[in-house]
Each structure stands twice: as structure tokens, then as C-alpha cells.
Amino acid sequence: MEQISLPEEKSLLIVDDDRPFRERLARAMETRGFQVKSAETVREGVAMVDHAPPAFAVVVLKLDDGTGLDVVEKLHEVRTGARVVVLTGFGNIATAVAAVKFGAIDYLSNPADADDIMGALLAAPGAKPQPPENPMSADRVRWEHIQRVYELCGHNVSETARRLNMHRRTLQRILAKRSPR
């Protein structure tokens, strides 16, 4: 099996539009030995990559000004050995495959624990991931799927209900509730 060495430099870029989560994760990663820079938008993330490409990155898939995959793609253009973990609240196979094609080494559900992120960033290539300590509940997975389809349908309740084969009022009640844990 081919050995790939991890970068000795522990520069880390975090791109996430959720400021409290981004700041907590930055502090947690700094205590784990990383030199952290953070960005709130795709544009800021790409600019930081252009200025000083980091060895590691944690990028949220969906940002206000686009997709985090643009940051992943740019990073791999300028630093091919960079190790990137993509975070998303809308996990599905298509986006996971896209993230890996753009160069991500792992794909985690958001919010993710700092230990899980660090484990993914520093995992040996080809290593099997450990099962999550606190996986999403079936209700949460269902809710995430409904939210994703709703978003893909342009927040059109009728179209979302039709695609999910669900009564429109049932869908409205689900959308009005907070996400399950």
C-alpha cells in the first residue's frame, strides 16, 4: 500500500457562514495545534487560498454566495496535496461524490465535532472511518431530506409535496417545525 505523508505544516482554512460555529471550530482546532484562518464566503475563501494556500481546509458545502466546492477546486489547483473535509447539513450521495471528485478527502454531516474533523483531516489515506459517536436520528435524516428537496424546488411547497409524494398540508406542518435532534 502506498504511503502518503501528511503535511508537516498545520495551516488550516475554515470556510463557513455560521459565525458562532466557525469561531468555536477555529478555537478548537488552534488548541489541537493548527494555525487557523477563516472565511465566511466563497469569495473570501478563494482569496485566502490565492494568497496563502493552506495544507488543510474545512469547507461547508452550501454558502450564501455559492458552493464551497469552488474553494475546494481552487485549493487543489494551487496546492494539490491539501487535505479538505467538506461539511454539509444536506448529506446525500450525489454531493458526497461531487466533493470527492473536487478533491475532498472526507465528507461529514454538519454540525461536526472538532475531534471528528481532526480525525478526518489526519486520517491515513484509505483508512476506514470510525462510526460516528452521535449519528443523526432517523427523524433528523428525514427532515434534512425534506429540507433539501424543498430548497431544490425553489422553496415551492406544492412542487416539493408533489416530488415527495406527500400531502401539501403535511409538508407545511413539517416545514413549520424546528429540526429534530
Fold equal for 11-122 and 138-176: no
Residue 164 has what pLDDT? Answer: 93
What is the C-alpha separation between 149 and 137, in angstroms, rounded?
Answer: 19
In the structure grid, which three cell numbers stand for residue 132, read together?
460516528
Assigned CATH class of 138-176? mainly alpha
- Give residue limits of the domains in the chain: 11-122, 138-176
In the structure grid, which three cell numbers stand for residue 19, read together?
459565525
> Could you tell me the fold of the domain covering 11-122?
Rossmann fold (3.40.50)
User: Cβ(160)–Cβ(150) under 8 Å?
Assistant: yes
Residue 3 has what pLDDT? Answer: 39
Residue 66 has what pLDDT? Answer: 84
Q: Which residues, other chains included, contact 48 with Cβ-Cβ below 8 Å and sequence gap of 6+?
A: 13, 37, 39, 54
Tens digits of per-residue pLDDT, 116-127? 888 888 887 666
Residue 42 has what pLDDT? Answer: 92
Residue 105 has what pLDDT? Answer: 82
Q: Which ranges of the chain have pLDDT less than 70?
A: 1-7, 90-93, 125-136, 181
Q: Where are the alpha helices (DSSP H) in 52-155?
A: 69-78, 93-101, 114-122, 138-152
